[in-house]
């Protein structure tokens, strides 16, 4: 039992962090919006050059074969820096799926091409416009559909960097790449990964909100002193930070554990806890910024909007609460079950 990041994991996180700090600042984001661009080519190339889309892909395909913990750290950095490009979804959800379904396309996706994914739980598909192909569901079947075989209808989101589309398409045998009940496991894993890494991402959003608010509170003067000195402001931000502190280990534990019913509930817990932290943190940030906080010119609203969008994607909050409840009401609970009850019992048996 060792609940610490390795040095390699911490270095990876710092490297990604540094790349985004350099390339994904406020001016970069606002330039993209002014240009209505789907992505910043230079930044995406740097991300690809660093091998990030393939971070979870097998080495045989040119990936780094790293685990969910590494991916969660990358996702948190993406959330913190409000990265508009779909790295989290590509690296965390699409590539692990493609690696098993279409090696050639996986290689292209590692090289930076986008493959969008339309999960059965969500009515829309993100980033479909800049994708070369789309993973789509038709009943139990998985289809891989070229971009030019679908019609897209843009669905504007509160988050101006989200590119959501309704996808109109006609399933055919030619595009079907998997079917039968065995295919469900792909969609289930995609949902778990989407929820887990989306949770990690929104945790980054939460921390950025607290950091921005704390920086502003130190600077902003009212009543002859910096507002960060007022207990009301201090406690508001302290409460948000506490939520973050107790969401982070859940996200990390969910990432570091194997797939199991126990861990699926923990993924849901991680998503809920991170989203709750982001909800509190982004609203606190708006409040601390005062009128600045609901103006377009300060970046706080980008955080609020990203949190709103991510908190309901890859399974709504209701869905994840339901999944936690189902686990809690049926599983063996207790202080010896923190890391899974079943494994625990087996190992005790072996020892005894």
Touching a second copy, residues 226-245 (CB under 8 A) = 230-232, 235
Q: Which span (19-27, 81-89, 184-192, 322-330) binds another protein, by CB under 8 A?
A: 322-330
Contact segment (CB under 8 A) with another protein among 20-28, 169-177, 184-192, 309-317 equals 309-317
Among residues 103, 229, 260, 342, the one that binds another protein under rule CB under 8 A: 229
> Which of residues 112 and 199 has its CB atom nearest to another protein in the complex?
199
The answer to whether residue 123 forms part of the interface with another protein (CB under 8 A) is yes
Find all residues with CB under 8 Å of 313, minimum gap 6, and list them.
Answer: 122, 126, 194, 198
Give the span between the Cα atoms of 228 and 304, in whole angstroms.
21
Nearer to a second copy, 230 or 319 (CB): 230
250 binds another protein (CB under 8 A): yes
DSSP symbol at 5: -
201 binds another protein (CB under 8 A): no
Task: Work out the burial of residue 141: count CB atoms within 10 Å of its CB; fewer than 13 is exposed, 13-18 middle, 19 or more buried.
Answer: middle
Residues 57 and 96: beta-carbon distance below 8 Å: yes
**Which CB, 36 or 231, lies closer to a second copy?**
231
For 251, residues 6+ apart whose C-beta sits below 8 A from its C-beta are 72, 76, 196, 199, 200, 203, 270, 273, 274
Using the rule CB under 8 A, is 27 a contact of another protein?
no
CA angle 107, 131, 72 (to 5 degrees): 65
Angle between helices 248-256 and 261-289 (to 10 degrees): 150
Minimum CB distance to another protein, residue 317 (Å): 6
Mapped onto helix, strand or coil, the DSSP state of residue 290 is helix
DSSP-derived pairing of the beta strands 151-154 and 225-226: unpaired
From the list a second copy, another protein, none, partner contacted by residue 180 (C-beta under 5 to 8 A by kind): none
User: Considering the rule CB under 8 A, would residue 228 count as an interface residue with another protein?
Assistant: yes
DSSP conformational letter for 55:
T
The DSSP code for 93 is I
Binders of another protein among 59-98, rule CB under 8 A? 69
Closer by beta carbon to a second copy, 72 or else 288: 288
Stretch that binds another protein, among 92-100, 129-137, 149-157, 184-192 (CB under 8 A): 149-157
**Given the rule CB under 8 A, which of 89-97, 105-113, 135-143, 299-307 is the region that contacts another protein?**
299-307
Q: Is 274 in the site for another protein (CB under 8 A)?
A: no
Binding another protein (rule: CB under 8 A), the pick from 253, 267, 278, 281 is 253
Range 234-293, binding a second copy (CB under 8 A): 235
What CA–CA distance (Å, rounded) separates 316 from 310? Answer: 9
332 binds a second copy per the rule CB under 8 A: no
Cα separation, 276 vs 202, in Å, equals: 9
């Amino acid at each position: 039992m060792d609940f610490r990041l390795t040095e390699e994991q911490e270095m990876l996180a710092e490297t990604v962090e540094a790349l985004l700090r350099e390339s994904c600042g406020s001016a970069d984001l606002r330039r993209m919006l002014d240009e209505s661009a789907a992505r910043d080519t230079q930044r995406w190339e740097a991300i690809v050059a660093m091998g990030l889309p393939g971070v979870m892909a097998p080495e045989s395909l040119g990936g780094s074969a790293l685990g969910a913990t590494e991916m969660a750290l990358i996702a948190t950095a993406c959330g913190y820096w409000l990265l508009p490009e779909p790295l989290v979804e590509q690296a965390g959800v699409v590539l692990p799926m493609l690696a098993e379904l279409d090696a050639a396309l996986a290689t292209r996706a590692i090289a930076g091409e986008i493959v969008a994914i339309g999960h059965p739980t969500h009515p829309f598909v993100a980033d479909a416009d800049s994708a070369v192909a789309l993973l789509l569901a038709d009943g139990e079947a998985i289809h891989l559909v070229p971009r030019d075989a679908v019609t897209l209808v843009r669905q504007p989101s509160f988050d101006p960097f989200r590119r959501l589309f309704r996808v109109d398409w006609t399933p055919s045998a030619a595009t079907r790449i998997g079917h039968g009940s065995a295919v469900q496991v792909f969609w289930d894993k995609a949902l778990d990964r989407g929820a887990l890494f989306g949770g990690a991402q929104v945790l980054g959003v939460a921390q950025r909100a607290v950091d921005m608010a704390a920086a502003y509170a130190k600077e902003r003067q009212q009543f002859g002193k910096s507002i960060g000195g007022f207990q009301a402001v201090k406690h508001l931000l302290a409460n948000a930070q506490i939520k973050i502190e107790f969401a982070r280990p859940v996200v990390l534990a969910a990432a570091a554990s194997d797939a199991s019913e126990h861990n699926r509930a923990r993924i849901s817990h991680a998503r809920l806890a991170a989203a709750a932290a982001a909800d509190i943190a982004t609203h606190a940030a708006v409040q601390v910024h005062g009128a600045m906080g609901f103006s377009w010119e300060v970046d706080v609203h980008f955080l609020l909007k990203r949190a709103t969008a991510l908190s309901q994607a890859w399974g709504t909050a209701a869905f994840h609460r339901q999944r936690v409840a189902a686990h809690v009401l049926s599983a063996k609970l207790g202080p010896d079950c923190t890391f899974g009850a079943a494994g625990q019992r087996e190992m005790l048996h072996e020892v005894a």
